[in-house]
C-alpha cells in the first residue's frame, strides 16, 4: 500500500492506541527496573518507549509491508537501521516517547512523534499528546492543525516576526562544544524569555502554534525533528541547519535553527553566535 493523505487519520489513531495501551498505564507507575540509562543519566529508555515502539512498528508493517521503519529504540540497539532513510521510497520514523526523562520523572510533558518520508522528503508529521489526548498534524502543502480530543480542527500558525529582544526561545547549548556552548548560553539572554521543556514534541507545538519564536538544536536525530520541522514549515515557519543548508531526513548533524521566517532566522543566526 502506498502512502496518501487519507492515511493521516489511521496514523493518528495508531499513535493514540499506542499511548493508551503501552504508555499511559506506565505513567507514574514505573518500577526501578523499568528505566535504563542509554548514554547518560539524562538519556533514558523505559518499558513504555520499547513497548509503544513495538506496537507501532507491528501495525505499520501490517499495513505497509514494504516500508522502511525507523524507530528510536530499535536504532539505539542497531544504528545501521538508519542507513538509507534519505533514499527509501516510503519510510516511517517513530519516537515512541519523546521526553522520556520527563515521563520517567512523572512530569506530564511528553509526546508520541511520527514522521513520514517519501523518497527523501518529509511529507507528513504527527505529534500526539497522550495527556491532552490531541494531535498536532502537518501534511506537505496542506498546512498544520491541532486535532482536538472532541474532534474539531484548529489551524495553527507560527508567531509573527519580532526583534530578538521580544522573542521567546530555547537554545540547547548544553549539547554544544566550547566555545560555541558559552557563546550561545550568553547570547540567549538577548531574548525576552526562555523555555526548556526537555521535549521536542511540546517545543515544536509551542512554535507551530505561535506561542514561542525559536529553538536551537545541536543533536539531529530524525525521530526528534522530522515531524516537528514539517509541521512548523506548514505553519509558515522556516528552519535550516547552522550553515544555512536545508534540513533533510538523512541529516544527523549540522545543528538546526528554527524561526518564524527566513529573515528572522538570519537575525538569530547573527545575534546568537555573536562574539
The domain segmentation of the chain, as residue ranges, is 5-155, 164-273
Q: Which CATH architecture has domain 164-273?
A: 3-Layer(aba) Sandwich (3.40)
Per-residue pLDDT of the chain (275 residues; tens, 9 = 90+): 678 778 999 999 999 999 999 999 999 998 877 778 776 666 677 899 999 999 999 999 999 999 999 999 999 889 999 999 999 999 999 999 999 999 999 999 999 999 999 999 999 999 999 999 999 999 999 999 999 998 899 999 999 999 999 999 999 998 899 999 999 999 999 999 999 999 999 999 999 999 999 999 999 999 999 999 999 999 999 999 999 999 999 999 999 999 999 999 999 999 999 99
Q: What is the pLDDT of residue 35?
A: 79
Is the distance from CB of 26 to CB of 151 less than 8 angstroms?
Answer: no
Q: Is 9 annotated as a binding residue?
A: no
**Domain 5-155 classification at class level:** alpha beta
Q: What is the pLDDT of residue 77?
A: 87
Is the distance from CB of 145 to CB of 154 less than 8 angstroms?
Answer: yes
Q: What is the pLDDT of residue 109?
A: 98
Q: Tell me which residue of 76, 114, 84 sits closest to 97, measured CA to CA.
A: 114
Q: Is the peptide bond prior to 82 cis by the omega test (within 30 degrees of 0)? A: no
Q: What is the pLDDT of residue 101?
A: 92
Q: What is the pLDDT of residue 41?
A: 63
Q: What is the pLDDT of residue 40?
A: 67
Q: Is 95 annotated as a binding residue?
A: yes
Q: In what order do the strands lie in the sheet with 256-259?
A: 193-194, 168-171, 214-217, 256-259, 238-240
Handedness of CA 140, 141, 147, 151 (dihedral sign): negative
Q: What is the pLDDT of residue 46?
A: 87
- Cell of residue 148, nine digits: 482536538
Q: Is 5 annotated as a binding residue?
A: no
**Predicted structure pTM score:** 0.95
Q: Is 31 annotated as a binding residue?
A: no
Amino acid at each position: 500500500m502506498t502512502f496518501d493523505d487519507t492515511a493521516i487519520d489511521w496514523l493518528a489513531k495508531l499513535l493514540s492506541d499506542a499511548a493508551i495501551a503501552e504508555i499511559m498505564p506506565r505513567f507514574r507507575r514505573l518500577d526501578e527496573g523499568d528505566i535504563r540509562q542509554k548514554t547518560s543519566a539524562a538519556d533514558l529508555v523505559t518499558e513504555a518507549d520499547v513497548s509503544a515502539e513495538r506496537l507501532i512498528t507491528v501495525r505499520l508493517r501490517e499495513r505497509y509491508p514494504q516500508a522502511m521503519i525507523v524507530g528510536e529504540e530499535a536504532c539505539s540497539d542497531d544504528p545501521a537501521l538508519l542507513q538509507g532513510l534519505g533514499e527509501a521510497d516510503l519510510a516511517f520514523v517513530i519516537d515512541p516517547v519523546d521526553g522520556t526523562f520527563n515521563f520517567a520523572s512523572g512530569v506530564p510533558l511528553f509526546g508520541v512523534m511520527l514522521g513520514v518520508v517519501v523518497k527523501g522528503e518529509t511529507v507528513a508529521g504527527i505529534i500526539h499528546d497522550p495527556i491532552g489526548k490531541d494531535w498536532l498534524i502537518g501534511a506537505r502543502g496542506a498546512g498544520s492543525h491541532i486535532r482536538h480530543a472532541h474532534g474539531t480542527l484548529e489551524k495553527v500558525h507560527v508567531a509573527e516576526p519580532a526583534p530578538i529582544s521580544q522573542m521567546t526561545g530555547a537554545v540547547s547549548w548544553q549539547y554544544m562544544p566550547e566555545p560555541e556552548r558559552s557563546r550561545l548560553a550568553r547570547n540567549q539572554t538577548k531574548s525576552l524569555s526562555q523555555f526548556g521543556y526537555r521535549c521536542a514534541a511540546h517545543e515544536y507545538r509551542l512554535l507551530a502554534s505561535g506561542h514561542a519564536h525559536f529553538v536551537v538544536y545541536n543533536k539531529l536525530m530524525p525521530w526528534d525533528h522530522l515531524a516537528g520541522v514539517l509541521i512548523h514549515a506548514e505553519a509558515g515557519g522556516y528552519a535550516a541547519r547552522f550553515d544555512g543548508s536545508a534540513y533533510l531526513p538523512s541529516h544527523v548533524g549540522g545543528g538546526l535553527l528554527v524561526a518564524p521566517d527566513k529573515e528572522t532566522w538570519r537575525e538569530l543566526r547573527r545575534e546568537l553566535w555573536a562574539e
